[in-house]
Chain A
């Protein structure tokens, strides 16, 4: 077998490089730093560009500059750094520049800690910076997807001229799984006719988010919304597991969805009709599919490591609040199987007690290797 055991953070760099990413700009932050380390190692090996920026503000603006030349470019960070980048996100969206940003979420608010969490959902999925824009957001749940969705992110960024975020967490970054390498590397053509490359052909081009005329800016905003509507139509990716006959559907993404999948298996062993709906694109969100299932009368449980941020979108899509539930952990704690099972059994009316009072003192590893 030519699969390789690879850590999630490394898989991101592999995906980026096979996708033809030419420039990596980043600033250290746990638990995303390994992406920076690996990029600093591998990018220069093939003559590509790596710069350790002075801050996340600088890295996202380096991304802005390099993206404006038409090259495939990226950065990575974690919650506090992503917060700092929000200015850059909205400028990228306003200038319609493609870029890939990888967010290895940690626990917040504030400095929080370096454990895994999914609390960046709102700031990444809903925009985060000022103005009427959205990011495209992809949520991997395995090392393979850390690679594959990073590649996909570059494709979508170019296709839609929009920032694309790969939203993962500390656990996915740290865990190792076999990786099937991309079949071949993409050699980007850089035939983007809007780019400014410092040559005669592109002299007339301008990268900007300024529209002085109010009507022009309004038109641009409408145009953006049309773009997002098309993205909603064309780009939704959802992974379904045992959903067809399910009466209780877990909605979950990222590492939480792995635990949710195990909960489906365990519940099915007890004869309960439980399924998992895993949005791979968080924006666009699988609104129609959730509505369809909602109309069938299923119960939804949002399994997330945040304060109901995903649940709110599930309720919005389902057009109901009743019969929707939340199983969550925060603060750097991984979702535990028993918590998910306890909620499923409760909803299903199964008379089985699960003790969920004890909190595990095991922590997902940040960066330690013995």
Chain B
């Protein structure tokens, strides 16, 4: 080789040039923008370069989004020449999920260390893997927390000394090393899982091959890929080059076998996700919005009415209230429906307040009741005191005698009998609603009928029965009051 050849610029570029997917200089770093922030002998630099080479070779650089975690690789965004995110500690797989779901074409990479991925972010890691998110996770396992100063990691080996296990990791006190590939391999969704090592040049070449496969899974949109990289941390483990290499090969690789755990790249079909539809038309369709009718409120002069429907849970109390509210809504009234339950919660007392007005409604909770509909004795006794002077109490006659000396109209209605006669006992609440249509002049009977049709739209069989019972209830009250 003569001097001329050696000084040839192209030749020099070919040797020293970074892959295009790594930046030439690192302006985001601020100072010393030509060198990385990593320590001498660290594995991150090698892994960065391998990933970037694969991005180049697969022609995916523009589509790539790299996620920097918290840990030594917190500044991965200094180096990768693609879209970058920096995230909270351990949350990279969740962030990756968000990116991937929002931008289906993006190739999302999550780059994490052992503390970030296997400790604080273990949940996010396993869950994203289990959902089969379209992300590639690069997991740097160097058995130690780097950035924070060499603490014990989930992957620290038994007997290995760190600043938080100074006499060596004792499994009785600090548990055993966490095997991430093995854990992830228990899940069905992941497409590609492999553990590689950066211990020597041959292993680095094999590592690159695995990385390329993992990114090919992404390029083809097939799902989740995971590459665990056994990597040196000479600074925190106080090793020189030789002992670092020895540590990886003789200790780490023994605890963490270097192998492919799964490769479904060639069999897995791409995960298809539809495009989002933002049209008014589509939304109107799913929410049954009709644009031809008027919306808003009708300004009829009406006296506000407060109705309380009460009984046991299961008596149709809340749905009866909703039917009233639905009817009022259809007439363009202001109306509120507010459900409550007694202290028993389940199977206990249940009631709802319905307020109908021609103007904005204040409290949706009814304290002064105009009309009380009571389906059981406890609620009749409890709420009858809250009925206004001049108000009405309508109750199921089966409850028995009820008297009050206040100026309140009390109607005992055989609603269960009426319901049984015209349909079944479960429509007793509808019989009471029928009575309500005749009691006040607030709402039209046809509004109730429409409301019943709407309420039972999914159970068309019961619509006619309920409407019959509604009419029967109305008839009864006409003849009996």
A331 to chain B, nearest CB (A): 13
A362 and B340 in contact, given A61-B91, A187-B278 (Cβ under 8 angstroms): yes
Whether a CB of chain A sits under 8 angstroms from the CB of B398 is no
B76-94: CB near A (< 8 Å → 1, else 0) gives: 0100011111111001001
Which of A104-112, A148-156, A157-165, A169-177 lines the interface with chain B? A169-177
A210 pairs with B86, CB closer than 8 A: yes
Partner of B350, one of A1, A5, A370: A370
Contacts of A336 in B (CB 8 A): 365, 367
Whether a CB of chain A sits under 8 angstroms from the CB of B283 is yes
B64 pairs with A46, CB closer than 8 A: no
Which of B139-147, B164-172, B261-269, B319-327 lines the interface with chain A? B319-327
A338 pairs with B97, CB closer than 8 A: no
A200 to chain B, nearest CB (A): 4
Contacts of A61 in B (CB 8 A): 87-88, 91, 94-95, 98, 124
Of residues 180 to 206 in A, which have CB atoms within 8 Å of B's CB atoms?
Answer: 180-181, 184-188, 196-200, 202-203, 205-206
Q: How far is the CA of A296 from the CA of B95 in the complex (A)?
A: 51
Contacts of A265 in B (CB 8 A): 362
B303-340: CB near A (< 8 Å → 1, else 0) gives: 00000000001111111001001100111111111111
A65 and B364 in contact, given A42-B286, A361-B342 (Cβ under 8 angstroms): no
B98 pairs with A73, CB closer than 8 A: yes
A18 pairs with B276, CB closer than 8 A: no
Q: How far is the CA of A175 from the CA of B361 in the complex (A)?
A: 13
A47-80: CB near B (< 8 Å → 1, else 0) gives: 1110101110111011111111101010000000
A198 pairs with B107, CB closer than 8 A: yes
Partner of A196, one of B65, B286, B325, B331: B65
Contacts of B361 in A (CB 8 A): 177, 258
Contacts of B275 in A (CB 8 A): 47
The chain B residue sitting closest to A365, CB to CB, is B339
B277 pairs with A46, CB closer than 8 A: yes
Q: How far is the CA of A370 from the CA of B273 in the complex (A)?
A: 37
Q: How far is the CA of A175 from the CA of B275 in the complex (A)?
A: 34
Whether a CB of chain A sits under 8 angstroms from the CB of B103 is yes
Contacts of B103 in A (CB 8 A): 69, 71, 197-198
A196 pairs with B341, CB closer than 8 A: no
Q: Please report whether the interface of chain A is mostly helix, strand, loop or mixed according to DSSP.
A: mixed
Whether a CB of chain A sits under 8 angstroms from the CB of B288 is yes
B52-91: CB near A (< 8 Å → 1, else 0) gives: 0000000001111101100000100100011111111001
Contacts of A184 in B (CB 8 A): 280
Partner of A361, one of B102, B123, B280, B343: B343
Q: How far is the CA of A73 from the CA of B100 in the complex (A)?
A: 13
A89-107: CB near B (< 8 Å → 1, else 0) gives: 0010001000000000000
A1-35: CB near B (< 8 Å → 1, else 0) gives: 11111000000001001101011010000000000
Contacts of B68 in A (CB 8 A): 208
Partner of A198, one of B77, B81, B106, B296: B106
A199 and B313 in contact, given A3-B295, A363-B341 (Cβ under 8 angstroms): no
Number of A-B contacts (CB under 8 A): 289
Q: How far is the CA of A198 from the CA of B296 in the complex (A)?
A: 44
Q: How far is the CA of A45 from the CA of B295 in the complex (A)?
A: 25
Whether a CB of chain A sits under 8 angstroms from the CB of B105 is yes
Which of the four size classes fits the interface of chain B? Answer: 35 or more
Q: How far is the CA of A207 from the CA of B30 in the complex (A)?
A: 17
Most central of B96, B291, B336, B339 by chain A CB within 10 Å: B339
A196 pairs with B95, CB closer than 8 A: no
A66 and B98 in contact, given A5-B325, A14-B287 (Cβ under 8 angstroms): yes
Partner of A207, one of B82, B86, B94, B315: B86
Whether a CB of chain A sits under 8 angstroms from the CB of B298 is yes
Whether a CB of chain B sits under 8 angstroms from the CB of A83 is no
A207 pairs with B84, CB closer than 8 A: yes
B364 pairs with A258, CB closer than 8 A: yes
Most central of A54, A263, A338 by chain B CB within 10 Å: A54
Whether a CB of chain B sits under 8 angstroms from the CB of A334 is yes
The chain B residue sitting closest to A276, CB to CB, is B362
Most central of B283, B284, B296 by chain A CB within 10 Å: B283
Whether a CB of chain A sits under 8 angstroms from the CB of B9 is no
Most central of B61, B276, B298, B316 by chain A CB within 10 Å: B276
A23 pairs with B101, CB closer than 8 A: yes
B363 pairs with A1, CB closer than 8 A: no
B279 pairs with A368, CB closer than 8 A: no
Whether a CB of chain B sits under 8 angstroms from the CB of A308 is no
A198 and B279 in contact, given A61-B98, A203-B81, A205-B84 (Cβ under 8 angstroms): no
B105 to chain A, nearest CB (A): 6
Whether a CB of chain B sits under 8 angstroms from the CB of A81 is no
A187 and B294 in contact, given A62-B98, A181-B287, A208-B77 (Cβ under 8 angstroms): no
27 contacts between A and B (CB under 8 A): A5-B326, A5-B329, A5-B337, A45-B286, A46-B286, A51-B97, A64-B94, A64-B95, A65-B87, A65-B100, A65-B102, A68-B98, A69-B103, A71-B102, A87-B91, A177-B364, A196-B84, A197-B103, A197-B106, A198-B105, A206-B28, A258-B363, A259-B365, A361-B343, A365-B339, A368-B313, A368-B339
What 15 new A-B contacts, CB under 8 Å, besides A22-B276, A176-B336?
A: A2-B292, A18-B280, A23-B98, A46-B278, A58-B123, A68-B99, A187-B279, A206-B83, A212-B30, A262-B362, A336-B367, A361-B342, A368-B345, A369-B318, A370-B318
Chain A interface residues toward B at CB < 8 A: 1-5, 14, 17-18, 20, 22-23, 25, 42, 45-49, 51, 53-55, 57-59, 61-69, 71, 73, 87-88, 91, 95, 171, 174-178, 180-181, 184-188, 196-200, 202-203, 205-210, 212-213, 258-259, 261-265, 334, 336-338, 361-365, 368-370
